[in-house]
């Protein structure tokens, strides 16, 4: 089923987890249709048709005028993880990699964004799974055609790695080979056909993709 050797079951992504975006949107959260800030992590799946690899060409969405990208630190689950506490959560991690989430521009967060998020090949996942002692100390830097467009310290996320693993594990049992993309920059970077996107976690791993024509 998988077009990627690392993700075997599900790829769970966390939206609205950049504290800069989360704080900036408070007034909007109070209005319809949201009528209140999220009290829980805002989760979405990138289904199996979206999975692709480091070095892959990402299809340009049919008829799309614009697309955006965000990069996230990704947790690769190493063993079955069901209802674990925050303090034990990291014991269930095999290691870390990167995920690019290519999508249409995020317009709102009220309904599941199937049209925007489920595009074929739109979720490249890094080639290696790397053990890291403290994922909260990492920073994800993304460049488009060599220019840095986003720099997101994991410490800037509203909910950190261990908390997310714990919370999600109470909703759904995680299995070895499930991947959680823990948070993307609130300001997703616009991309154009043919652009080269590079994300790096210094000393850990990097992920390179090119937009199709």
Q: Among 155, 171, 192, 202, which residue interacts with other proteins (rule: CB under 8 A)? A: 171
Query: Quick one: 26 or 110, whose CB is closer to other proteins?
Result: 110
Which segment (33-41, 87-95, 142-150, 152-160) binds other proteins by CB under 8 A?
33-41
Cα 152 to its chain centre, rounded Å, is 12
- Asked whether 17 and 182 are in contact (CB, 8 A), the reply is yes
If one asks whether residue 146 binds other proteins (CB under 8 A), the answer comes out as no
173 forms part of the interface with other proteins (CB under 8 A)? yes
- Asked if 119 interacts with other proteins (CB under 8 A), we say yes
211 sits near other proteins (criterion: CB under 8 A): no
Binding mask 65-84 for other proteins (x = CB under 8 A): -----------------xx-
Could you write out the DSSP letters of every residue in 47-94? Answer: -GGGEEETTPEEPPPTT-S-EEEEEEEEEEE-S-B-S--TTTGGGGEE
Q: CB-wise, 46 or 71, nearer to other proteins?
A: 46
How crowded is the C-beta side of 157, counted as CA atoms within 13 Å? 27
Query: Residues in the site for other proteins, rule: CB under 8 A?
Result: 1, 9-10, 12, 15-16, 33-36, 38-40, 42-45, 47-50, 62, 82-83, 109-115, 118-120, 171-173, 175
């Amino acid at each position: 089923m998988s077009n990627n050797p690392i993700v075997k079951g599900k790829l769970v992504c966390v939206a609205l987890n950049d504290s800069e975006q989360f704080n900036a949107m408070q007034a909007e959260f109070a209005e319809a249709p949201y009528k209140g800030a999220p009290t829980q992590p805002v989760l979405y799946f990138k289904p199996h048709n979206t999975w692709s690899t480091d070095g892959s060409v990402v299809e340009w969405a049919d008829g799309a005028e614009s697309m955006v990208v965000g990069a996230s630190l990704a947790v690769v689950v190493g063993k079955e993880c069901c209802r674990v506490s925050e303090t034990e959560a990291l014991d269930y991690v095999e290691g870390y990699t990167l995920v690019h989430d290519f999508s249409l521009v995020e317009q709102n967060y009220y309904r599941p964004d199937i049209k925007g998020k489920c595009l074929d090949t739109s979720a490249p996942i890094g080639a290696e799974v790397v053990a890291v002692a403290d994922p909260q100390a990492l920073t994800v830097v993304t460049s488009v055609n060599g220019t840095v467009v986003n720099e997101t310290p994991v410490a800037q996320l509203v909910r950190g790695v261990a908390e997310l693993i714990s919370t999600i594990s109470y909703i759904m049992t995680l299995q070895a080979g499930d991947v959680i993309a823990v948070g993307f920059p609130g300001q997703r970077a616009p991309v154009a056909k043919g652009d080269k996107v590079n994300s790096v976690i210094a000393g850990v791993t990097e992920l390179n993709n090119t937009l199709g024509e």
